Amino acid sequence: MDVQIRQMRNGLVVVSEVMPHLRSVSIGVWVRSGSRFEDETTTGISHFIEHLLFKGTTSRSAAQIAEAIDSVGGQLNAFTEKEYVGFYAKALDEHLPFAFELLSDIVLNPTFPTVEMIRERNVIFEEINMVEDSPQELIQDIYMENFWKGHPLGRPISGTKESVARIARKDVMRYFRDHYTANNTIISAAGNLRHRQVYELAKRYFSNLESGVQVDPGIPPVASPGRVVRRKPNLEQTHICLGTVSPPLASEERFCAHLLANILGGGMSSRLFQNIREKRGLVYSIFSGLNLYRDAGALVVYAGMAPENASAVVELTLKEFRKLRDKLVPAEELKRVKENIKGSIMLSLESSSSRMTHLAQQQIYFGRCYPLEEILGKVDRVRARDIRHLANRIFDSSSLTLTSLGSKNGRDLESVAMSL
């Protein structure tokens, strides 16, 4: 890894990686402005601002922004997460200065036109409607909202229709001023570039950005285990999320947690997929995943099935939890899962855009960039007894939470849930 990290005088961090075998470059502007930093009166404002930054600057209209990136055959996009917002551009290496200027114009010079706020608010309403119409997405939101009840990490990133409707232009201006500052911003770049060129471009466009104060993530969330049933008419399937706490992203135990989640439901050879789908045919989709943040984490199993099979699926999932607590993972299975994770990591970092994202996330959470060999080594060093120890700690009845979504009233799950 040919990586360089430099900090500008105003506090903004620039991190870049040279990948000379590519013809592309990817640049990202990352801001600590995710939904975690919102209060109840501004829920959804980070996501709203992300949309609005593409609606015009002091020198470009929304149409001109789109025309600019298309004129060089590049890509331009953005996304909002719970602990950061990312804006990125990808183009041929020869267009790095152009892409950098365009991205900086979007992030530094928005005008937040009132007419565009009205239109984009309606777009976000439709985005919220899409989630409501997608039970697999909706149940994840319901689960997290109840698991971390009352904490910003539990709220949906898009907010609610009620909260987004309350956001006024003055709220947007104030939130943008407080969060889009140098101390909350990281510029990352990867591809066929030169470190010095990236740093000089960052200085040219971002030197005048106010230093500001780094935002406070607040206190960690406290899990609220329990059982939540939401009835939604006209659904053919019952959807469930069954989960528990997990080591946070900043913990060294995250490598163990990834292996545990992969063994449980990480792919077609995972225990849940083989025992519940392949052997019994009770589900089409079942998997486990991790939601990790700087000081909190959740391991969640999702499954969708016919309502009459819901109790059996929950019972079988609990059985797999108990097996992970009681028995060591066999050596061959552990080796296979380690190779799966290591292969996934390496394959996911083959493009300039994925490397750019990796650099930024490492800087946000660790203030450094882990060499790939160090990450793979930490995966290799996880032992079977480490996994069993973690399973005994997190698969505890006091931590488990069950959420169901379907057309039935969910009472058939109550007796199963009581065994948690």
Active site residue ranges: 50
Altogether, the residues listed in the chain come to a count of: 420
CB 120 within 8 A of CB 55: yes
Beta partners for 229?
404
Pairing of strands 283-293, 185-191: unpaired
Q: Look-up: residue for tokens 């969060």?
A: 179
Distance, in Å, from the CA atom of 288 to the CA atom of 258, rounded to the nearest integer, reads: 10
The conformation of residue 221, written as its DSSP 8-state character, comes to P
CA dihedral sign, ordered 144, 146, 152, 157: positive
Beta partners for 405?
230, 239
CB 128 within 8 A of CB 158: yes
Structure token digits, residue 250? 């900043």
The dihedrals phi and psi of 57, each to the nearest 5 degrees, come to: -120, -175
Helices (H) and strands (E) in the chain, counts: 16, 11
Contacts of 244 (CB under 8 A, 6+ apart): 223, 225, 298, 299, 394, 395, 396, 399, 400, 401
Q: Look-up: residue for tokens 């490598």?
A: 255
Distance, in Å, from the CA atom of 77 to the CA atom of 90, rounded to the nearest integer, reads: 9
CB 100 within 8 A of CB 117: no
Task: Quote helix, strand, coil % in the chain, to nearest 5.
Answer: 50, 20, 30
Nearest to 356 by CA among 79, 16, 65: 16
